């Protein structure tokens, strides 16, 4: 099993969700996060006083899937979240050792 963690632009979330549904992903976890990379922050100006915020709001998306599906999930996110500008985000793939469905106690890929 793989954990696919993607940091994407907030307005791309719906596109990514649709793309993942199309490849057969039935669930995911989404959080609102802040961070910075090449995109740096934003400048706010109030009556001439400039404040630069060095954190940009992003969405963190976590999906766990079986090994066979992982490359298609990565490809779907990469294409759906791509706007061609800096700050589009990153995708990380991690190995997952174990999974349990709490309600039934099923384990491994059947728990996904």
Partner 1 sequence: MILARPMIRAAAATGLSLFAALPAWAQDVATQAASMPNPGNNAWMMTATVLVLLMILPGLALFYGGLTRAKNMLATMTQIGAVAALAMLIWVTYGYGLAFGPEGNAFISWGKFFLSGVTPDSTAATFTSEVISEYVFISFQMTFAAITIALVLGGVVERMKFSAVLVFAAVWLTIVYFPIAHMVWEGRGLFFTMGALDFAGGTVVHINAGVSALVAAIMLGKRKGYPNEPMPPHSLTLTMVGTGLLWVGWFGFNAGSALEANGSAALAMINTFVATAAAGLAWMATERVVGHKGSALGFCSGIISGLVAITPAAGNSGPFGAIVLGAVASVVCFVFVARVKPALGYDDSLDAFGIHGIGGMVGAIGTAIVYAPSLGGPGGADYAIGGQIVTQVSAVAATVVVSAIGTAIAITIAKALTGLRVAPDVELEGLDLGEHGERAYN
86 sits near partner 1 (criterion: CB under 8 A)? no
Stretch that binds partner 1, among 26-34, 40-48, 62-70, 100-108 (CB under 8 A): 40-48
According to CB under 8 A, which one of 26, 38, 47, 104 is a site residue for partner 1?
A: 47
According to CB under 8 A, which one of 26, 49, 68, 86 is a site residue for partner 1?
A: 49
Rounded Cα distance, 34 and 13, in Å: 15
How far is the CA of 98 from the CAs of 5, 49, 74, 104, in angstroms?
A: 17, 52, 20, 15
> With respect to partner 1, which residue has the nearer C-beta, 11 or 51?
51
> With respect to partner 1, which residue has the nearer C-beta, 3 or 56?
56
Q: How many other β-carbons are positioned within 10 Å of the β-carbon of residue 89?
A: 22
Rounded to 5 degrees, what are φ and ψ at 30? -125, 135
Q: In the structure encoding, which two tokens stand for residue 44, read together?
A: 């706010």
57 sits near partner 1 (criterion: CB under 8 A)? no
44 sits near partner 1 (criterion: CB under 8 A)? yes
Query: Which residue has 């990514």 as its token pair?
Result: 16
Q: Which residues bind partner 1 (CB under 8 A)?
A: 44-49, 51
């Amino acid at each position: 099993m793989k954990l696919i963690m993607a940091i994407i632009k907030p307005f791309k979330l719906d596109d990514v969700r649709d793309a993942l549904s199309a490849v057969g992903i039935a669930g995911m976890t989404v959080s609102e996060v802040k961070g910075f990379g090449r995109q740096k922050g934003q400048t706010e100006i109030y009556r001439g006083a400039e404040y630069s915020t060095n954190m940009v709001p992003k969405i963190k998306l976590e999906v766990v899937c079986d090994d066979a599906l992982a490359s298609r999930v990565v490809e779907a996110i990469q294409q759906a979240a791509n706007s061609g500008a800096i700050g589009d985000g990153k995708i990380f793939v991690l190995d997952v050792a174990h999974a349990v469905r709490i309600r039934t106690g099923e384990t491994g890929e059947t728990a996904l």
